[in-house]
Structure 1
Amino acid sequence: QLARIYADGCAPCPIASLSRVLSDCEVVFNTVPAMVLPAELLRQLPPETLLIELASAPGGIDCRAAEALGLRVIAAPGLPGRVAPRTAGEYLRQVICGLLQQREESI
């Protein structure tokens, strides 16, 4: 998984290091099905950060807190498991690229 992350030009972040990098995030993908982004960490994110929740229940993002903070959350729990892995990966790439393009156009 790390090789794919690097190959896609992304940078992984260990959970223990989240608080050091959150203020620089534009998009956060969560795949951990346990709370890793509670309200106190979400407050460190820039207001334009996009959160994408891919984990199965209960998920790892406090979605209520995120929405209360005005952060955009896309809930797609278990998506890769419901769709063929290659198809899911391509779909996510298209959606994310589209969202990023929309975001750039609105700036």
Structure 2
Amino acid sequence: MQVHHAGYRIRGFYRIAALGHLWAMTPKDAQRRLHILRFWDTHGLEATQDAFDVSRRTLYRWKQALREQGGNPAALAARSCAPKRRRTPKTDPRLVAEIRRL
């Protein structure tokens, strides 16, 4: 006797299951942003700005990020705002020695 699993012979089951798995792994802030974008599509720009206090520029940036990633909601996850490069301090060693002496 052959045992089949839940998705056997159901067209598109694995694709939908993969999307569900992606959604479960999507951070809460990305889910909220996707909700805001869907609200924008339904109700328009002014209603979205009033309801969520999000700028027009931000909405278009989120929409572009979502489009570039092929609709993957993880593209809307917040990224780090820390600088990519940090300056290394170039303090004269004599000045450091004088400060330590005090």
Structure holding more strand per residue: 1
Normalized against structure 2, the TM-score is what?
0.32
Structure 1 or 2: more helix by fraction: 2
Q: Tell me which of the two structures has the higher relative contact order, counting C-alpha pairs closer than 8 angstroms and 6 or more residues apart.
A: 2
TM (norm. structure 1) is 0.31
Higher Rg of the two aligned structures:
2
